[in-house]
Structure 1
Amino acid sequence: MPGITVKHGQRLLKVLSQQQSTTPLSVLESRLGLSRRSIFYTIKQVNNQLSAYGLDEIENIRGAGYQLPSSAAHSLHQLDGSDQLAHDYIELFDNHFFFQALSQSDRRLLTMFALVSRSTTSLNQLSRYFSVSKTTVIKDLAALKSQWPAGVTVVNSNEGKSLQGNEDGQRRLIFTNFKRILTLCGSVVDLTPNNHYVSQLHLLERITGNSFTEDAINTLANFIKWEIERLRTDPNCTLDPTTSNNYSLIMTWATSFLGDLGIGNTGEARFLAEIVNTQAFQHVNRKNPLINQLRPVIQQMIRRFDEIAGVNLAAVAGQLVDNLTIHLVSTYYRARYRIDYHNPLLTQIKNDYRETFELTKASVAPFEQFTNSKLSDDEIALITVYFSGALHAVNLNTQKHDGVLVVCSSGIGTSQLLIAQLRNHYPTVNFLGPYNTFQFENTDFKHVKLILSTVALPTNRPDCKVVTVPVLPGPADWPQIDQQLKLANLIQASVSHKVSVTTLMDIVSNYARIVEPDKLEQALQDYVYRDNQPQVLPTNSTTNSHAQFCKQTVDWTSAIRFAFRDLISNGTVTDNYVERIIQLTKEHGDYMAIGNGVFLAHASANAGVNRLGFSYNYFTHPFNIEHSKKKLNFIVCIAPVDQEQHLKTLGVLLQCLQNDDWMAQLHRCQSQSEFAQVLQVGHLI
């Protein structure tokens, strides 16, 4: 700030200019680390210089504190805006390292940055940097203790705290978090990359034939700037020389680059050569020997993904291999050189692409074996994006006309029942699917006008409304579905039903006195919105069908395991399939409970199904899923081999479930023989 030559004057004005209102004297004491007497003296001297510039002086607001008039703050900023930012990291810590209202994690990250960057840092300084109490600083330091690399110790002295040991680990810790550090410090330090460092990185690109992304250039140039400044101000932080016989192009470049700066340490050249390879590339030289090693590994990953997900990416496999190869070069070096990657979109990707993320996690095993290291969730989230992009390119949604997407967790059981009723109810509407949640995550919503789902779905991704509906919509549900279809312009008022309950009520009232209007309306709704009864289907030809009658009191997980007992014993399904159903229920709630005490237990075939099979299980003592009030006593176990072969049995089951007489017989069963007879009447066994 121009002309403010009073000791502590610029720091005082900076603190005051950062405040939205008055600043109490206690805050000035904490931020400046000065006594009250020194602050009074500094304010007096600064006011003298402000007055000499013809600017308004610092004001003392009785009972509130001090404030710098906005006119003075604006004039000071106009006179010399360059002083608002630190030009290097040394100046940053000397005059500009002040932050307010940071989150706990960000404050601790910058505390870490300060301790690594400075030779000593006191509690008072940290308290002043972040406008927090010493107690908070002490808690932050205790929390950081577990994050320091092995061999790093915090040493206390009269000047403050300093770090000792494992210089390589300290730098890697900062480099791992450097993008976030740059974001936090961007308002107080000039992050314009050093032109010489940028030109040297572009020289490396020409030497190797690889091209960095612009973001990688900016990150590397700023990190090199921080690293060089640190080496020049604190010789004790120099890395030990290395005896490695590394004559690679990158090592040769790093040695020459640092040598021109007067740094001839081979350990420093090795470190620089390692970190530049861990940043993102937009192009990789195909002559790089690593490429020939990576491509077959990536092809194994894609085949594994196809097998686990039950998809075929052959049509886009070539482009996917190329894209993943470029990406996994830097991933390989991060794994090799122990550089962690922090993905700022990790939570969003895991939420929006939950199924795809888990499938990707299971598919990267060949790469983990190649690098002999386990990939973090942050790394897997990046790879997930590539697989999702490939699935979009394959275009799972082959429909070309506007329609309604029908979704459930597996796309097999509950959604098949729902879509059959929807197609029967609305023959003019194009219902797409049914899709499982994995397909939903990766589909193209271009032709989707409405989404009907039996499970809760993320509502922030598609550009159309997501509506959760029961598997067997009742009289109260169909009018709501009508309304959503009308809002999506998929049906008109006259299309949904030939007659309406309101019209019928009006006609009846013209010729008869209605004694109980509510009951009459309900009866009319039951009639009008009841699905047309399908024709009787032939007897179910599936021979692998079983029936169990249980008189014991069980909880819901025990009931599911009991229900699959026969299918497990004859090898139809594995234990993993049953546990997957339990896991899905815990994640999505009671969506498999389809009404009238029925629970349709199913999952995707790749969860552990060996052949087609069904099991029907009645429990005399009803139970309920946790956090659900629905009472259940009839579990139908489905072991589907794909999305087609079980549909015939589902059609028969749907006919039974919509038959009030059959359901009444089911709930009157008192023995295994009676239960089996009811199933035979329904053509289920």
Structure 2
Amino acid sequence: MLTNRQYEILDKVIKAKSFVSIAELANEFERSERTIQYDIEYIEFMKESLHLQIQRSKSNGIKIDCEDLSAIQQMNKATFPEVHFTKSERHLQILLHLFEAKAPVNSRMLSALVNVSRRTIVDDLKDVTEWLQEQMLTLQYVKNKGFVINGDEVSYRKAYGLITQEYVKSTNELVRKTLFEDEDMQWMRQIVLNTLEDKQYPLFQIAIDGLVIHLLIAIQRVKKHFTIEPPVEALTALMETDAFQIAQAIQVEVERHYDIDFPTSETMFIALHLLGAKKLKVGNDHVGTEELKILIHQFMERMSASLGIDLIKDTKLLNNLYLHLAPALNRLTYRFVQQNPIKQDIYAQYMEITEVITDNIWIFEELYHVDFTDDEIAYLTLHVASAIERLTQHKGRKIKIVLLCGSGIGTSQLLKERLRKIYPEFDILDAYSLYQIDESKLKQRYVDYVITTVPIELEAIKCVEVTPFLDEKDREKLNHIINKERERIAHHLTRKGLQLKQVMKPEYMATIQQKMSRNEAITEVMRPLEQAGMINAQFKKEIINKLDEFGAYMVISPHIALLHGSTEHALNGVGMTLFYFEQGVYFDHERFDPVKLMIGLATDEPQKHLTALKELSDILLDDTLRGQLLHGDLTGLKNKLTCS
């Protein structure tokens, strides 16, 4: 996906049919040369999918030829990936919706709520019914209307309280500790839901969650007297919108419940959040919506490369960032700063993340002509930290599987019921027929295995063939999967904040004199970690596939690449390698090629490596040490690791 400016640059250079200088492009598009260089770098990332031939010249600039313009013409719209929920997350969302709905809820509504098929909803409702029965409640179907929860008031309130507690646990840990009690979250949800329903202003669940957290933070701002006068021009424009009227209605309820006075600035913040949430639902009602979504994708690619964590596949993070940035950019345009009451706590706990965001936030600043304050950086840090926490949780939950059957629904239902009874360790996400299977969508849902009754092989996800009746041989295969997972948990490192010297051992560093291709070099860099049992063979394949798909984004600075895969194929602990390639390795990165220094990173838990990565980043920022490494002298690094 390219931004509008990147399209215009591409169009201009193609039509020129000759070299165009960076200075000329910077002057025409009124952007810095750094921004234009970044735009061109991203166009280079997309050159294969867009069928481009690109030539670079230090003195003349850039020349682009394209034999087939159809690929460029088709790539005209950003599409945010849909949010995918695990089975337990679906149950939580379904129960919350049922408890908080004022009318019966049908399966079509629930299917749209959690983005799965109605057949999957039927299975989910069985589990929901069992849970409600344990709470002395029932799930009743009202003919032609939908489902409602029935039971005495005491049981109803107790069960709703339990579900709300689970919902609270899904929020960021630092937010939970510093901002609210469980009862605050429950009250705030009710205020928001009742107001939105009364005013007929529907929002996605993810937008409602964001608004609830926003209001809890706002209360802390008011209590600490962090208030300012809003710009008259912006306030006047907002007061004409439905969102401002709804914000005022929410303000009244919050003031009544918490006995505080909300200033006009906070009402304005709520209205901006509501407007941003509405644009997420109706993607084409605003000129800048798609542009912002594309920039968020590109921003997260850079964040993923710098942190060594694959954040780009966290659909909740992408959507939450849009919900935050849409109103934030509007506020910053008017220099309307939203102070963060827990800024110091955020900077102390997530120092590495704040530094990486600060290094990359210019992507938004230069396009929108705004300056992100420390307070705004802290808000963005919370979103990224929450995503990392979710990735950590993914590693400890049930084994995620989907079923693939070639002989119809009856076979899949039989297999599903047998698996549910025998193997509670499995989280059965869905069932597919052979023609429905799509590996890319399975990856987005973090599927571990495909349990299939027909022969099939996928590129990255292991397929286990069984019979619908699960005979002894089938059970041996499935028992092996479960035992393997238990072993992983038994050997799982619980220690946080590992130092660089703990993960980059002397035997993980080497100099390579012979010439190698990119893929050969990646294999060599990852070999020590594979031999140590930290990664499986799929890890390096995943790196290669991502570089083929997204371009050379893992090349983080001149002649340096940080290679990393997802935690999915990391088996045990954290490891980092460092290899110097005397003859250089070419990644098709025309600014930073050839790569001389390649760092390999593997971690079985997203947060473990951040301290070590921060130490490595400091070393690479040291001109002397970086110069030594780029000339093949590893002595200074080894001495530093020994002494630290």
What TM-score do the two structures reach when normalised by structure 1? 0.29
What TM-score do the two structures reach when normalised by structure 2? 0.31
Which of the two has higher C-alpha Rg?
A: 1
